[in-house]
Amino acid sequence: MTVEALRERAMALHHSGRLAEAERIYAEVLRQDPADWQVHLSLGAARLALRRPVEALASFDAALVLEPACIEAHHGRGMVLLRLQRLEEALASFEAALALAPRSAELLNSRGNALRRLQRHAEALASFDAALALAPQLAEAHNNRGLVLQVLGRTAEAAASYQRALQLQPQFAQAWNNLATVQCELGELDAALASGRRALALHPGMHGVHGNLGNVLRDQGLAAQALGEYEQALLEAPDAPLSHCNRGNALLDLGRLEEAVGSFERAIALDPQHAQAYFNKSVCLLLGGDFARGLPLYEWRKRLQGAPAAPAAAPVFDGTQDLAGRTLLLYAEQALGDTLQFCRYARLAQQRGAEVILSVQPALRALLASNGAAVRVTASDEAPPRCDYQCALLSLPLAFGTTLATVPATVPYLAAEPRRLDRWREWLGPRGFKVGIAWQGSRRRIDLGRSVPLAAFAALASVPGVRLISLQKGDGVEQLPDASSSMALELPGEDFDSGPQAFLDSAALMQHLDLVITCDTALAHLAGALGRAVWVALKSVPDWRWLLDRTDSPWYPSMRLFRQSRPGDWQGVFAAMRAQLTLLARDRIADPRYSDDGGPSRSRLRRD
């Protein structure tokens, strides 16, 4: 058979997907005609499809020696280098191809992928946009654009990009899987589940889909089902660190802490720099009360994606340095409740002779200035002040060697503004057993399962003598109209905590309440820091700071914890609360100082 006939035979086999046979004949052609650059190019493409990247690279290189202006060889070479994780070289190959064909949407898309994997996200997005300007129907570029937008936190835009890819190519399994991840982030859990299952139907065994389905099921509170998905992912890829980490998360949700720790340790053994696994292991240990092992590992949170950077260039205070005469900057790094809980350590630093500066969320500046210590409070959006040392607030328990027995729990360490106390005393009046309630925390994914339906508080509303006063602001108030028919709930008005500073009215009103009942939210920490009686409704496996199986909190002496006996069981929690509240309210009403005079009328949804 002639060389020309062999070449045609190889090409036919290639196009029909019989790659191994095509490769054998390409090799025979090149034995007879080693200068045929087009056959080197085709052989490189076949070897790339056969997942033999090193040999494919040699073929593309051979083609380029013979024909340096071969756009396809530059492109193929870049694709091989991407697969080999040689990202800078891959980018250079795509740039070389684009120099020859600057208006190629396919090349712009490939360059965008290299830039994305190099984490040059703004440049990657520009490259994908340029590709789509030339070829708006290029589904792959829409999908890749979504990946970049998702990393940049532009979640809704990412979803739109994935959806556009799927409009153009409904059988695009990877885009369905990517859409599922972003729908999960947006809280569209039913849609995410459907998208993930669609991806799996189109491409059974696709890497990552079972893990993503597990994430959706976790967010739906279905930890046992999520565990099954993670274990399926591990059957497909037993040495995937992320799947072991995910499995540990599900076991943690189920309260199986020792097994969870084992999964996190397996992830760490496979990837010794797996920050999420170290952090999750720390959460298990802290939840179990093992501060000695848990607090050092908790520092791995600083390596997680999106972790805030330290505000100053000063050395980190780790507890070993002499603070006498030194300036120590303590800075907030997490949510408002975390700041309220851990700002207590400012006094311990002062006791070591430090001049303490407390940098907090702008909304907390006024409240934390009430801590009674000579602490300078600044807002985190201001330029960081000069300091000798700095420390994140949640690193202070480690720096001070905190154990369960040594938690600094002297309360109150916050106080209400005096000028607000009279106003809320007058508004509230003396009548009844006054209970402030809050039912909704943040809507972030980390807070899933913490919030309580407002309707659950109806069990408390019928306790004789009890008045329920809303402390809720923002998210959650949309439940008020539905609750108005089942409970009398007094609202402190639209101007309650309406300014730029958070919790000033809440702190003053709490001083005149007999009790605060809340879900796991910042108001629980505020009440505890004020030394007010507070009951907290907790999900079955709560945040680590509440520990396990305790009705008290070492952080707040005035706090009592009510825990779900199983996931989602708020009815049992509020039945236990109602029994205790009935006794408390009865004793309060029996007090001769109790009066029905001078208080506001107990109208439903009282607003002023």
pLDDT per residue over 259-305, tens digit each?
A: 999 999 999 999 999 999 999 999 999 999 999 999 999 999 999 98
pLDDT tens-digit series, residues 296-335:
999 999 999 889 999 989 999 999 999 999 999 999 999 9
* Same domain assignment for residues 473 and 395: no
**CATH number where 114 lies:** 1.25.40.10
Q: Which residue has the tokens 């919790």?
A: 503
Give the per-residue pLDDT at 593. Answer: 58
Contact indicator for 528, 407 with CB cutoff of 8 Å = no
Q: Determine, yes or no, domain membership for 244.
A: no
What CA–CA distances, in Å, run from 155 to 125, 473, 482? 14, 25, 31
Q: Determine, yes or no, domain membership for 494.
A: yes
**401 pLDDT higher than 50:** yes
**CATH number where 469 lies:** 3.40.50.2000
Domain housing 207: 3-218
Last residue of a domain, one of 191, 218, 245: 218
What CA–CA distances, in Å, run from 577 to 465, 528, 587? 15, 18, 16
Q: Determine, yes or no, domain membership for 402.
A: yes
210 or 596: which carries more pLDDT confidence?
210
The pTM for the full model equals 0.86
| Residue among 545, 207, 264 at smallest CA distance from 409 | 545
Distance CA 113, CA 100 (A): 19
* Same domain assignment for residues 28 and 62: yes
**216 pLDDT higher than 80:** yes
Distance CA 600, CA 205 (A): 64
- The SS3 call for residue 238 is coil
pLDDT tens-digit series, residues 423-471:
999 999 999 999 999 999 876 655 678 999 999 999 999 999 999 999 9
**607 pLDDT higher than 60:** no
Q: Determine, yes or no, domain membership for 270.
A: no
* Same domain assignment for residues 392 and 435: no
What Rg value do the Cα atoms of the chain yield, rounded?
A: 31
Give the list of residues 6+ apart from residue 209 with CB closer than 8 angstroms, or none: 177, 180, 196, 199, 200, 203
pLDDT tens-digit series, residues 136-190:
999 999 999 999 999 999 999 999 999 999 999 999 999 999 999 999 999 899 9
**Residue 592's pLDDT band (cuts 50, 70, 90):** low
**Residue 601's pLDDT band (cuts 50, 70, 90):** very low
> Span 237-265, mean pLDDT?
96
**242 pLDDT higher than 90:** yes
* Same domain assignment for residues 399 and 427: no
pLDDT tens-digit series, residues 542-579:
999 999 999 999 999 999 999 999 988 999 999 999 99
Distance CA 346, CA 348 (A): 5
Distance CA 11, CA 22 (A): 7
| Residue among 153, 228, 227 at smallest CA distance from 185 | 153
Distance CA 19, CA 27 (A): 12
| Residue among 385, 345, 337 at smallest CA distance from 361 | 337
Give the per-residue pLDDT at 442. Answer: 74
Q: Determine, yes or no, domain membership for 262.
A: no
| Residue among 500, 459, 455 at smallest CA distance from 476 | 455
Domain count for the chain, please give it.
Answer: 3
* Same domain assignment for residues 382 and 481: no
> Span 3-19, mean pLDDT?
82
* Same domain assignment for residues 375 and 454: no
Q: Tell whether the torsion through CA atoms of 32, 34, 35 and 37 is positive or negative.
A: positive
Give the per-residue pLDDT at 5. Answer: 83
Quickly count: other Cβ atoms within 10 Å of residue 499's Cβ. Answer: 10
* Same domain assignment for residues 391 and 468: no
* Same domain assignment for residues 567 and 452: yes
Percentage of the chain modeled with pLDDT above 90:
77
Give the per-residue pLDDT at 444. Answer: 66
Give the per-residue pLDDT at 425. Answer: 95
**Dihedral angle at the C-alpha atoms of 118, 119, 123, 127, nearest 10 degrees?**
70
**504 pLDDT higher than 50:** yes
**Residue 345's pLDDT band (cuts 50, 70, 90):** very high
DSSP assigned state of 589: H
* Same domain assignment for residues 390 and 526: no
Distance CA 217, CA 194 (A): 11
Last residue of a domain, one of 377, 406, 435: 406
Cis bond leading into 412, ω under 30°?
A: yes
**600 pLDDT higher than 60:** no
- The alpha helices in 101-240, defined as continuous H runs, are 105-117, 121-134, 139-151, 155-168, 173-185, 189-202, 209-219, 223-236
Q: Determine, yes or no, domain membership for 272.
A: no
Q: Determine, yes or no, domain membership for 295.
A: no
| Exposed e or buried b per residue across 263-278, where buried means at least 16 C-beta atoms within 10 angstroms of its C-beta | bbebbbebbeebbbbb
* Same domain assignment for residues 548 and 574: yes
**Residue 372's pLDDT band (cuts 50, 70, 90):** low
Last residue of a domain, one of 176, 201, 218: 218
* Same domain assignment for residues 53 and 181: yes
* Same domain assignment for residues 25 and 168: yes
* Parallel/antiparallel/unpaired status of strands 355-360 and 327-331: parallel
Percentage of the chain modeled with pLDDT above 70:
95
Q: Determine, yes or no, domain membership for 117.
A: yes
Give the per-residue pLDDT at 234. Answer: 96
